[in-house]
Amino acid sequence: MVITKDMPVSGIAASWDEAKEVFQKYGIPASSNKALKEHIQGEQLDQLISDLNKAIGSTEVTCIEGG
């Protein structure tokens, strides 16, 4: 699965412990029920999503759409 901007922070943190360190780096509380896009926008959001996907070992290449 690839992490997207619409996913809630708490759901990501609950699914992948590795993500908690990334959230800490960006100053985002891992317990937040808000979507990633509600915390930051623009290039910083793109970088956060990239960092999260790297941390969990997921890329669009490793995942298929809808699955």
Q: What is the pLDDT of residue 53?
A: 95
User: What token pair was written down for 63?
Assistant: 């995942």
Q: What is the pLDDT of residue 58?
A: 80
Q: Where are the domains of the chain?
A: 9-56
Residue 56 CA to residue 18 CA, distance in Å, equals 6
Each residue's pLDDT tens digit, 11-40: 999 999 999 999 999 999 999 999 999 999
Residue 27 CA to residue 66 CA, distance in Å, equals 30
